[in-house]
Structure 1
């Protein structure tokens, strides 16, 4: 049974759009958990309980594994890197194709605003299974790493210095590009906060980045956008009002600075539609977006 089928089985009635909108506010710190659950309770009906709603919206990472960590075609390990302008040292999940005998293009995989959770680790394994060397840093490493649940992870990341986190990802990208397994071609893919990091890296690394794919991420600061040189594939969710409101201004700057970009807007899907651990997941859109991502990396990195 697919993730979508499992969610459908537990929620026989469609989940109202308000629930997804409130979850987005909750996940991004605009409301607290108590307010989120109180709002959900107003949607309870005879056929849609609070338990059904919360189970569908909150992550279930048992649903998110598409590539097992025991998959014989990949090798995974944790490794540290130096981050002198950030927290001093970072740590991430390095996944390589098992059959790799030479150098290969590398792809940095950037998590959401809650640390290196199982979904993002699985995405890194998917990248490696497609022939790239993948590296997924954990912004929470200075505090001990992803704690095992998103609520605590979100609070931990919110407590950290945003500028130092950004410097850690800049250091991670440079570490990966110069890694002994790297052929020098660097791509970055990220989701939500990670989508912002992709845009920030494109504006910070400039020519050192070869391709970037931000999924529903806000743009880099306006004064940095003139530095973007890498081709970008922007992935946006049709129902994501918060992030989509930033797109017209970002697109105007990408055009003004003659950046090679393409944008895909997936109608009637929510922010987080690629994350297959919650009810926001939309399998057709997620699969199409992922195949486009891999094709984009093959075009610009291989």
Structure 2
């Protein structure tokens, strides 16, 4: 609870978004938060609310009896040579399952995204969540280091790693041949990119608050898209009008949901940006969409 009994002001969330996406350095971010301390807010409360606490982000335990989790490697000759990801399948024995690629934010495979993979497996899908940071030792255990590591990697190689991971999962012996992809922030961009770079790859894509792929390849999109946007996310939302025009021009089946009062990252339950009502609704829509398109 805040010491002055007031909710965290919206500008603090906007500053965090700028900081998390390279718009300002940590020193500037903390300095801006300091202006709120002068207005009566506690710095410890502000930072604990804005920075992730991954102990809060476990909805499905790694030892849940309904799922089996492991790690699998895949070849990525056009990327970093080799990739690795978190592979989760239902315990129920079946010959084939619908499969979903899970793409993390701009800081590596953190505990929240691994939990998303477990949630999908709990709902009957085989989920695979690659770690873009595998070539440099994997997610380092905190977001600041993870963000710096991911920023230091060649972006085109990261994209090729996820493309290789998507093909690995689609052709996996447990796959029914239909691939879905869900991603958050950078991962949302990657879903848009995978849909555009290979029109035959995805059978369904769910980008959460992700920017579109390069305009030159958007006409390739064939997969149906369920696009999840947050009303207060000005940075990402400004790209939507042009993207929607391009989707319409390409004849893409799409549905966009704008979540009222939600911030960028509203599905991530490890920070104060989490909006439980909107997150639950967005996830229900995601599962229903994948169930329909990947069966």
With normalisation by structure 2, the TM-score equals 0.98
Measure how far apart 1:12 and its partner are: 4.1
Alignment counterpart, residue 85 of structure 1, candidates 78, 85, 110 = 78
Q: Which runs of 4+ in 1 moved over 3 A?
A: 8-12
Contact 2:3/2:42 (8 A) holds in 1: no
CA distance in 2, matches of 1:154, 1:219: 21
- Listed as ranges, the gaps of 5+ residues in structure 2 are none
With normalisation by structure 1, the TM-score equals 0.96
Contact 1:11/1:52 (8 A) holds in 2: no
Offset from partner CA, 1:90-146 (integer Å, 9 cap, x none): 000000001132210100000000000000000000000000000000000000000
Alignment counterpart, residue 142 of structure 1, candidates 135, 141, 147 = 135
CA distance in 2, matches of 1:74, 1:176: 17
User: What residue is the counterpart of 1:225 in the other structure?
Assistant: 218
Q: Which moved more, 1:189-198 or 1:27-36?
A: 27-36
Contact 2:112/2:270 (8 A) holds in 1: yes
User: What residue is the counterpart of 1:5 in the other structure?
Assistant: none
CA distance in 1, matches of 2:130, 2:178: 18
Measure how far apart 1:47 and its partner are: 5.2
- 2:207 is equivalent to residue 209 of structure 1: no
User: What residue is the counterpart of 2:43 in the other structure?
Assistant: 50
Structure 1 SS opposite 2:33:
helix
* 1:128-207 mapped onto 2 (5 Å cutoff): 128-207=121-200
CA distance in 2, matches of 1:279, 1:194: 20
CA distance in 2, matches of 1:73, 1:150: 29
Contact 1:26/1:36 (8 A) holds in 2: yes
Alignment counterpart, residue 18 of structure 1, candidates 6, 11, 32 = 11
Contact 1:238/1:270 (8 A) holds in 2: yes
Measure how far apart 1:268 and its partner are: 1.0
Offset from partner CA, 1:69-109 (integer Å, 9 cap, x none): 01010000011000000000000000000113221010000
- 2:95 is equivalent to residue 102 of structure 1: yes
- Listed as ranges, the gaps of 5+ residues in structure 1 are 1-7
Instruction: Give the number of aligned pairs.
Output: 295
Contact 1:213/1:234 (8 A) holds in 2: yes
Offset from partner CA, 1:15-63 (integer Å, 9 cap, x none): 0001000000000011111110110010125752011000000000000
* 1:290-301 mapped onto 2 (5 Å cutoff): 290-301=283-294
